[in-house]
Amino acid sequence: MKINVMTDILEANDRIAAVNRQLFDSHKNLVLNLMSSPGAGKTMLLEKTAQALRGKLRLGVIVGDVETARDKERLEKYDLPVVQLNTGSACHLDANMIASALPHVDLTNIDVLVIENVGNLVCPAEFRVGEDFKIMILSVTEGDEKPLKYPLMFRESSLLLINKIDLLKYTNFNLDEAKANARKVNPNIEIVDISCVTGEGISDWAAWLSGCYKRKFGTNSLA
């Protein structure tokens, strides 16, 4: 008899993710699972997002890292509810880890909950956590061929943010090539160019978020 352990693990994970999702829906939370390789700019994007959404949508964050509470400390400066998960050795967040964080998150005071996944271009894409959308960041220092080498993450993502475009001139990253590669593995992926340093593209990203919130809940402003 062949036992497919991975399938069983993912099915068990999906059942917990569905329970998380029901809880999010009942609290009117738009939930995004934010993925990238380490250092692509996930936390800095959230710092910029906190500022861009102020007075419009209430942001909350669950952040996963192998060790430390560094990202939580960075984000709390923006007066956000933030829960830090430390995975120890695990290279991704799963639905059960998110379920264990939820008693510490006041979902009634959050409109947009972003789950910053552990930095990794492979495993996070396999595990649902109860999100509405998976989104990802690729930064221009990582190489424009990455969508072809790590296709699952690009295939699973609804939105690709290409970050650090302020550094384009110092790299051999070809923006058109990167986008073509991403669309080869996922023809439906939306793509926004951003720089968390100069702020370029951040308003387009905030508009994408507000549009998703409005489509889900029929309103785009604070209750």
Please tell me whether residue 151 binds ligand GDP under the rule CB under 6 A: no
β-partners of residue 134 are 33
* Gyration radius of the chain over CA positions: 17
Give me the 18-37 binding string for ligand GDP, x by CB under 6 A, dash otherwise. Answer: ------------------x-
Q: Which of 31, 32, 44, 113 binds ligand GDP (CB under 6 A)?
A: 44
Count of chain residues binding Mg ion (CB under 5 A): 3
β-partners of residue 77 are none
Hey, is 221 helix, strand or coil?
Answer: coil
Give me the 29-68 binding string for Mg ion, x by CB under 5 A, dash otherwise. Answer: -------------xx-------------------------
Comparing CB distances to ligand GDP, the nearer of 24 and 205 is: 205
How far separated are the first and last CA of the chain, in Å rounded? 55
**What DSSP line would sit under 172-216, residue for residue?**
---HHHHHHHHHHH-TT-EEEE--TTT-TTHHHHHHHHHHHHHHH
Comparing CB distances to ligand GDP, the nearer of 152 and 167 is: 167
CB of 40 to ligand GDP, least distance (A): 5
Span from 51-59, 84-92, 94-102, 193-201 in contact with ligand GDP (CB under 6 A): 193-201
Comparing CB distances to ligand GDP, the nearer of 124 and 130 is: 124
Give yes or no for a contact between 66 and 89, defined as CB atoms under 8 angstroms apart.
yes
Q: From CA 1, how far away is CA 184, in angstroms rounded?
A: 38
The footprint of ligand GDP (CB under 6 A) covers 36, 38-44, 119, 163-164, 166-167, 195-197
